[in-house]
Structure 1
């Protein structure tokens, strides 16, 4: 009996039939996690890049204008929002502000508009990076906030917030007037 048990155990340990199926069953969950993790990281990076593109495009469209009206500002918001597709634009907020440096070199808000976010107060101080303005010049500032919600990993994280700020100087004048 002992000899039979020892021989059966040796035969069982030497048998390689089904070994591939066992290895696959052990590795498959890890492969799935890696695949969906790579997909998720790619989606987040794409959303972050598009947030950057929205900020630059919004500032660029306004900086090219000689003046900007309500209708043109709505067009800028619509065109900028379209960049986010195929991602949802529900979590997208855009604020465009014209900042003018007065004679003393203090940066003040000349006008501001917001899409799903409150505009800045006209006349309020605005901190800009050093050297961006000189007295009598202005800068268009586009602030974009995007809340990314993953289609597959809502169990891991609810949402990720991206923020991008773009600064551009007006191209046709020292400052861009806002008209109604």
Structure 2
């Protein structure tokens, strides 16, 4: 074979191209599926947080006890979460937190420079934490989020947070670990109570 024939030969070019392109296409397809799963989970969490916050804020009173099948029983919202989050496996990695915050007035300065500012209290009046199975317990954990709406004097707000552990497919978990591994996603929603201020659970 002379040198000119060698450079003109095209035997095996398709195989070489496939060997280069096919792995890239596989990784691209895996990435698209992973992104879809991520954004679907995030969208479901956002919708669930909105639905729970809306439902809680419409109640005239909220009851702390069971049987967790009435809209004015706060534990009902924990029991509904697995259905609101389908098809995500909420029971094995999800949780729900519901809080009620009030405002307080803070005075700064003195004399003519004295100013009063209305701010949200960081410690809730009451709180409920529900795990993936729907079981709820009382908790009073300081709220450190910064996305709350602007407060008014004597204001209250219902804050709902949904958490979900997001895990990649097994086929891509080795690569996902290199990017930080499984992570906990969070979605939050806020509603001012429509009727009573719901300052305490009955």
| Superposition TM-score tier, normalisation by shorter sequence | 0.7 to 0.9
Q: How does 1:68-83 map to 2 (within 5 A)?
A: 68-69=62-63, 70=65, 71=68, 72-83=73-84
Name the residue aligned to 1:13: 7
In structure 1, list runs of 5 or more residues that go unmatched: none
What does the per-residue CA deviation read over 1:96-129, in whole Å, with 9 as the maximum and x for residues that have no partner?
01223368756352221111286432xx865674
Alignment equivalent of 1:53, drawn from 44, 47, 50: 47
| Aligned match for 2:103, one of 101, 104, 109 | 101
From the superposition, tell whether residues 125 and 44 of structure 1 become closer, same or farther in structure 2 (CA, over 3 Å). closer
Structure 2, unaligned runs of 5 or more: 107-117
Q: Which residue, 139, 155, 158 being the options, matches 2:174? A: 155
CA 1:79/1:130 → structure 2, altered by over 3 Å: closer, same or farther?
A: closer
Provide the C-alpha distance between the structure 1 equivalents of 2:6 and 2:83, rounded to a whole number of angstroms.
Answer: 63
Question: Which residue of 2 is the match for residue 111 of structure 1?
Answer: 126
Contact 1:63–1:176 under 8 Å retained in 2 = no
The normalised TM-score by structure 2 is 0.71
Residue 142 of structure 1 pairs with residue 160 of structure 2: yes
State the Cα distance separating 1:79 from its structure 2 match: 2.1
Per-residue deviation, 1:176: 5.7
SS for the counterpart of 1:82 is helix
**C-alpha RMSD of the superposition:** 2.7
Per-residue displacement from partner, 1:54-108 (whole Å, max 9, x unpaired)? Answer: 2212211111111122323232112233222212111111110122336875635
Equivalent position SS for 1:109: coil
Listed one character per residue, the Cα deviations across residues 6-59 of structure 1 (whole Å, up to 9, x for unaligned) are 2xx433432324422321122100111111011111211111222222221221
Residue of structure 2 in register with 1:25 after alignment: 19
Count of residue correspondences = 170
Alpha-carbon distance change, 41 to 29 in structure 1, aligned in 2, over 3 angstroms:
same
